[in-house]
Amino acid sequence: MRGLGSTPLWSCRRSLTLEAVSIRVLIVDDDIVFRDAIAAVLIERGYDVAATVGSLSDALAALETLDPDAVLLDIHLPDGNGLSFVESLPGDGRRPRVLLTSSDAHAAPARLVKRSRAAGFVAKTDLLTEDLSRYLG
């Protein structure tokens, strides 16, 4: 459709390229086989795995240097408890979303997850079938 002095709408189209912004995830688990396997799954789902670490002390260092958007955090680690770790994170705007996990499906009662300010809890056996975007972004 043309009006006086106008350009047809179809000739005004521009080619736009939108790049998806990957969510950067830090994986914290003491089982290296699990870390490698879940990292491959997350990459396949479009996430950017910022790093994988095996302890809370390494997680703390990685949080400071890598500034990930999200953390997949095992509850039972050699140097502490993941629930307590989440509670200790600062509540400022830079706090990453944290998804707790464990091989024990009952390791994190809902009231404790809510109190910790984690995004949620998914048992390790359910990570492959769960839509993780609602937790990790």
| Confidence check: pLDDT of 68 > 80 | yes
Q: Under a CB-based contact definition with an 8 Å cutoff, are residues 124 and 116 in contact?
A: no
8 part of a folded domain: no
Residue 15: what pLDDT?
Answer: 44
104 part of a folded domain: yes
Comparing CA positions, the residue from 47, 125, 132 lying closest to residue 98 is: 132
pLDDT band at 20 (very low <50, low <70, confident <90, very high): low
Range(s) of the domain holding residue 106: 20-136
Cα 85 to Cα 21: distance, rounded to the nearest angstrom: 27
Q: pLDDT tens across 78-130, in order?
A: 999 999 999 998 877 778 999 999 999 999 999 999 999 999 999 999 999 99
What's the CA angle centered on 60, arms 136 and 57, to 5 degrees?
125
Write out the two tokens for 118.
């984690």
Write out the two tokens for 71.
């953390």
What's 122's domain CATH number?
Answer: 3.40.50.2300
Residue 21: what pLDDT?
Answer: 64
Residue 39: what pLDDT?
Answer: 98
92 part of a folded domain: yes
Q: pLDDT tens across 43-60, in order?
A: 999 999 999 999 999 999
